[in-house]
Amino acid sequence: MKIMVVGGGGREHAIIKKIKENPAVEQIFAVPGNGGMANDATLVPIGAKDIDAIVEFAVNTGIDYAVVAPDDPLVLGAVDALQEKGIPCFGPEAKAAIIEGSKVFSKNLMKKYGIPTAAYEVFNDMQAALTYLETAPIPTVIKADGLALGKGVIIAMTRDEAKDAVRSMMQDKVFGKSGDNVVIEEFLTGPEVSVLSFTDGETVVPMISSMDHKRAGDNDTGLNTGGMGTVAPNPYYTDAIAERCMKEIFLPTIRAMKAEGRTFKGCLYFGLMLTENGPKVIEYNCRFGDPETQVVLPLLESDLLTVMQATTNGTLADTEVKFKNEHACCVIMASAGYPTAYEKGYAITIPAAIADQVYVAGAKLSDGKLLSDGGRVLGATAIGDSLEQAIAASYDLVKQIHFDNQYYRTDIGARAMQAKREA
Ligand code: AMP
Ligand code: GLY
């Protein structure tokens, strides 16, 4: 089989490595991929948002199955366009990807179907939003409606901050059209859990839970990033909470999307907050998370391609999805300065013996040498019998990888360890 994976980050590298385990796979094309994946896939220099070119490449190459991993091409209809040419895909059609593409849509969906989430108001008029903020409870959360490279959420600790956020989105258009509408919502507190799930639109199978570390600095200080590391499973996510989430959130969401004529197939990511009043949805993503995928897929015992095809074919109920009873930790090695300005172009050395455990995100090949080429450069994932062992082993990997100007958090998994001690 010839497989195409659209996207170019660490998440895509983890997907590619896992798909490769299937003996029927002859060749994997990464579109565009990155230089760090060259040993695992054939790199195709087409941008992940260039849907016409992607479809043309897939047709000409005789792609048997396509995986569209990032949010942008999904929301732009990459799956629809590939399916039209008869190419089966993993991922939702545009009309279902809207669950991530529009926060107004997802909030209204949750309200209509009684799915627990933060209370909210929607505004398309800036003056009305500013007036509302005069008396709204503080802290409050301001969210741009559309995709905003993961930056469209502002937690405002003061009324002025909240108003500034509204002005920057609705007047200065810092996120373009994504800020035409804003959601202003209740500030929730509690541990956060990421639950990725496989779904064929009828059946939903949650993957092992995980915990992201979004802030740039140790002890959750500094700016928000795309994610500086992950652990799985998430110790806050007990069996009792999982059962409750299935009943109150996962199944109701899948059924709601079907009832709306927007059947969701692929990976639906539930960003949850475990509040005093039970689990609530913070956000939906229409795709695998990054860097959640880099801890979840290494723990998947079943064959990934088989499970993906089952979501496409509607046979997930008859397909085994099994996870190892182990722990995983992924530490992201970034360029110092990320998520703002940073230097790149430094040679990366990864010992061959550990290359299987490294997922490359921001790197390029130049004269056969791998050079750092982004904010998040790579992630190193280790598996262990305990969380403690997984953490120690992943930092052991990090110490064997070198590039100049490198930076990583030293406390990935520390909060999870503390949660375990308190349990
Ligand atoms: P996102 O950029 O959409 O991944 O979300 C950013 C982060 O904002 C989430 O991971 C939460 O930590 C936080 N967040 C979003 N909504 C709320 C809320 N209603 N209350 C508290 N924190 C929130
Ligand atoms: N790690 C969060 C995300 O992928 O959106």
- Whether pTM > 0.95 for this model: the answer is yes
Mean pLDDT across the stretch 236-246? 98
* 160 and 243 assigned to the same domain: no
Question: What's the CATH number where 15 sits?
Answer: 3.40.50.20
* 196 and 182 assigned to the same domain: no
Calpha distance 202→254 (Å, rounded): 7
Return all residues near 147 (Cβ < 8 A) that are at least 6 apart: 71, 72, 75, 100, 101, 178
93 lines ligand 2 (CB under 6 A): no
Is 110 a domain residue?
no
Counts of helices then strands in the chain (DSSP H, E): 14, 23
Cβ of 83: how many Cβ atoms within 10 Å?
A: 17
Give the mutation target among 269, 272, 293 for probing the ligand 2 site: most ligand atoms within 8 A of CB: 269
* 300 and 340 assigned to the same domain: no
Question: What's the CATH number where 287 sits?
Answer: 3.30.470.20
Q: Name residue 97's amino acid.
A: A
SS3 414: helix
Residue 98 token pair: 């809207």
Give the Å distance between the CA of 291 and the centre of ligand 2: 7
What single-letter DSSP state applies at residue 323?
Answer: B
Q: What is the pLDDT at residue 62? A: 98
46-76 core/surface letters (b: 16 or more CB in 10 A; e: else): bebebbeebbebbeeeebbbbbbbbbbbbbb
* 43 and 141 assigned to the same domain: no
Query: In this structure, are residues 291 and 273 in contact, taking their beta carbons and an 8 Å threshold?
Result: no
Q: What are 402's strand-pairing partners?
A: 349
Residue 50 token pair: 């260039």
Calpha distance 110→95 (Å, rounded): 16
155-167 core/surface letters (b: 16 or more CB in 10 A; e: else): ebeebebbbebbe
Query: In this structure, are residues 182 and 169 in contact, taking their beta carbons and an 8 Å threshold?
Result: yes
* 167 and 201 assigned to the same domain: no
Pocket of ligand 1 from Cβ distances under 6 Å = 118, 141, 150, 153, 155, 185-188, 192, 214, 271, 282-283
Is 111 a domain residue?
no
Which ligand 1 atom is nearest residue 282's CA?
A: 16
212 lines ligand 2 (CB under 6 A): yes
SS3 322: coil
Residue-wise pLDDT tens digits, 33-75: 999 999 999 999 999 999 999 999 999 999 999 999 999 999 9
Query: In this structure, are residues 161 and 133 in contact, taking their beta carbons and an 8 Å threshold?
Result: no
Mean pLDDT across the stretch 157-182? 94
Give residue 197's domain range: 192-318
Q: What is the pLDDT at residue 151? A: 79
Is 103 a domain residue?
no
Q: What is the pLDDT at residue 152? A: 87
Residue 130 has pLDDT above 90, yes or no: yes
Question: What's the CATH number where 385 sits?
Answer: 3.90.600.10
Calpha distance 414→386 (Å, rounded): 13
Q: What is the pLDDT at residue 210? A: 98
Residue-wise pLDDT tens digits, 248-276: 999 999 999 999 999 999 999 999 999 99
State how many domains the chain has.
4
Question: What's the CATH number where 155 sits?
Answer: 3.30.1490.20
Q: What is the pLDDT at residue 294? A: 98
* 381 and 269 assigned to the same domain: no
* 215 and 304 assigned to the same domain: yes
Which ligand 2 atom is nearest residue 291's CA?
A: 1
**Could you give phi then psi for residue 266, rounded to 5 degrees?**
130, -140
Query: In this structure, are residues 207 and 195 in contact, taking their beta carbons and an 8 Å threshold?
Result: yes
Mean pLDDT across the stretch 242-251? 98
Q: What is the pLDDT at residue 148? A: 84
Q: What are 66's strand-pairing partners?
A: 4, 89
Is 212 a domain residue?
yes
Query: How far are the Cα atoms of 318, 380, 420 from residue 16, in angstroms, in the given order?
Result: 24, 15, 32
- Mean residue pLDDT of the chain comes to 97
SS3 199: strand
Q: What is the pLDDT at residue 352? A: 97
Give the Å distance between the CA of 282 and the centre of ligand 1: 6
Give the Å distance between the CA of 271 and the centre of ligand 2: 9
- Single out the residue in 283, 301, 318 at which a domain terminates: 318
Q: What is the pLDDT at residue 150? A: 74
* 165 and 255 assigned to the same domain: no
292 lines ligand 2 (CB under 6 A): yes
- Single out the residue in 298, 318, 338 at which a domain terminates: 318
Q: Name residue 102's amino acid.
A: S
Query: How far are the Cα atoms of 5, 20, 143, 229, 307 from residue 383, in angstroms, in the given order?
Result: 25, 19, 35, 14, 22
Give the mutation target among 195, 207, 212, 270 for probing the ligand 2 site: most ligand atoms within 8 A of CB: 212
Residue-wise pLDDT tens digits, 315-340: 999 999 999 999 999 999 999 999 99
Q: What is the pLDDT at residue 149? A: 78
Q: What is the pLDDT at residue 57? A: 98
* 213 and 260 assigned to the same domain: yes
71 lines ligand 2 (CB under 6 A): no
- DSSP labels, 125-156: -HHHHHHHHHHS-SSEEEEESS--TT--EEEE
Residue 245 has pLDDT above 80, yes or no: yes
Looking at ligand 2, which residue's alpha carbon is closest to its atom 5? 289
Is 65 a domain residue?
yes
Four-CA torsion 320, 93, 66, 71, nearest 10 degrees = -100
Q: What is the pLDDT at residue 253? A: 98
Which of 393, 378, 233 has its CA nearest to residue 300? Answer: 233
Residue-wise pLDDT tens digits, 69-79: 999 999 999 99
- Single out the residue in 145, 160, 186 at which a domain terminates: 186
230 lines ligand 2 (CB under 6 A): no
* 258 and 196 assigned to the same domain: yes
Mean pLDDT across the stretch 353-373? 97
Give the Å distance between the CA of 60 and the centre of ligand 2: 32
Percent of the chain with pLDDT over 70: 100
Looking at ligand 2, which residue's alpha carbon is closest to its atom 2? 289
Q: What is the pLDDT at residue 56? A: 98
**∠38-366-409 over CA atoms, to 5°?**
75
Is 239 a domain residue?
yes
Is 50 a domain residue?
yes
Residue 192 has pLDDT above 90, yes or no: yes
Going by pLDDT thresholds of 50, 70 and 90, the confidence category of residue 105 is very high
Calpha distance 373→343 (Å, rounded): 9
Four-CA torsion 150, 330, 369, 73, nearest 10 degrees = -30
* 409 and 395 assigned to the same domain: yes
* 182 and 204 assigned to the same domain: no
Q: Which residue bears the tokens 């229409």?
A: 286
Residue 204 has pLDDT above 90, yes or no: yes
Residue 216 has pLDDT above 90, yes or no: yes
Q: How far is CA 181 from the centre of its chain?
A: 23
Residue 357 has pLDDT above 80, yes or no: yes
Q: What is the pLDDT at residue 423? A: 81
Residue 115 has pLDDT above 90, yes or no: yes
Is 381 a domain residue?
yes
Report how far apart the first and last C-alpha atoms of the chain are (Å, whole number). 46
Give the mutation target among 178, 282, 286 for probing the ligand 1 site: most ligand atoms within 8 A of CB: 282
Mean pLDDT across the stretch 349-371? 97
